[in-house]
Structure 1
Amino acid sequence: MSTAVYSPAEEAARLAAQGPVRTAEPSRPRRTVLERFPAGAPRGSWPAEEFAQEKRREGLAVDVVMDLKSDSYLVVVAS
């Protein structure tokens, strides 16, 4: 039984034909937390959303997400 020996060009073509390498976990985009707000704000008050709106007016693409572990809202920007 013989082992095939490929030239560098053949090896590159063989690997390219296999497609992209998949990892076990999908990669997540990195985010930077701009501000934290407690979830217990008074009824009708949305401080995290108001802060996010202000940042959007400044031209930043921000999102408000809930951090369940700390029970707070985070205003985040992709970095």
Structure 2
Amino acid sequence: MARETLADLPAGHPRGVLPTEELAKQFRDQGVPATVVQDLPSDRFLVVAPAEEV
């Protein structure tokens, strides 16, 4: 399944994953099925959605 990256933040953020989860909630509140994943090679948290849904 293809995904589209909507936002990304560094995994080393002092608040951890919380800012990324907050962004994902904003997208979900707008009707976008956003979820948070961690990209280990780039050490970043990503807000993603299925490409066909965006």
CA distance in 1, matches of 2:17, 2:37: 16
Q: Which residue of the other structure, out of 21, 31, 35, is the alignment partner of 2:3?
A: 31
Please report the TM-score for the alignment, with normalisation by the length of structure 1.
Answer: 0.60
The answer to whether residue 39 in structure 2 is matched with residue 64 in structure 1 is: no
Distance in 1 (alpha carbons) for counterparts of 2:40 and 2:16: 20
Large movers: runs of 4+ above 6 Å: none
Aligned length, in residue pairs: 51
3-state DSSP of counterpart to 1:41: coil
* Identity across the alignment (%): 45
- RMSD value over aligned CA atoms? 1.4
The answer to which structure has the higher strand fraction is: 2
Gaps of 5+ in 2: none
